[in-house]
Structure 1
């Protein structure tokens, strides 16, 4: 996993960087060994799910999600990636075409694959020419068009923030290929997270399934991941007990 860390120099200057580690705890330990004492490490720990009983799994999921949200709230940078909303025909046309009907930049078209958290993305090997082209485009602004559909503008706003993150990653010693490896890993974990949430809801006792569904959906929405559809055949919560 790759984690972002925040620390202060001896001159009390705020700095940040990136580190590969097995977990946030491991990241803290490795940084301290290197003489860096971070005051915050930002990132999602791998989800080591185990086949606990349904009730325990619900608690485990809620706890893990809450921890992720706490980290997100502490991050100084905004988390712009969300599910695109609006006219589904406009969004679907963009996704189907790889956003070639909207984006002229090859970098933006590649970043757009990761714009929506948890969506399936087929990892792609980048050639040297791809990496060079993306690096050359990175400092250019995202191109907006007057009167464009709000769905297109929403996507471009996400891409502008992703470009900021990519520039920060490279400024801290990373490279183009490493950044997209990070995006592939994060996208895969988000997808797995949603699948485990769905599994948890369906393994819950029928009397608790509605509550479990409402609870995990609230957290999935906060993380920008597509919420779960309402399970069929579940017992409705009594009025006033909805989350």
Structure 2
């Protein structure tokens, strides 16, 4: 079959396209990574409150504790709480687990992010992280019947108070190396994570990080957010510190 000039040109063009496609290298890992990084980043929020009765709470949040939110957009306040003391994050479940991945950003007004997580018949798993310039935070995690597993920033600096009745308290190896345990009285263990020589409460109290955990029936496990998880090590109170602080 004899092709016309136009058809010959089309055939040659198609052949060239096919040859170019055969010679084109496969996409590199970097290009694939760049395309996957195009996922939208969550916007910072503030004063988030979620409470559920018969299902778990699963949230990934970016929190800016200095972000202004007008009162009419904030969650309603429980009795006895004022707008000035409203939690920046409040996650609760009665018959379910609380899962939270929280990135802390911003420190424009030197404000702390105050967070509360509670589960009555379930556990709590939370990862708190952020850049070196993140705001300090206070986290109160309470579980009556369930395990509490927390992953905190490696630059956490402040007191750690853990109250537990029936269960164990375990820290990762890296946290154990940086933790001072002052003693345990009435099932409440009081510790300090970080450089204790920087402690200061001259101007209205401690303004750094704080971690308060309450568990009745369950274990407590605390890691750094970038730990390679292995077998955690249970800490023991120091006899010397016990004598110094009267425990």
Q: Which has the higher contact order (CA 8 A, sep 6+)?
A: 1
Q: TM-score range by the shorter chain?
A: under 0.3
Q: TM-score, normalised by structure 1?
A: 0.21
Which structure has more helix as a fraction of its residues? 1
Q: TM-score, normalised by structure 2?
A: 0.21
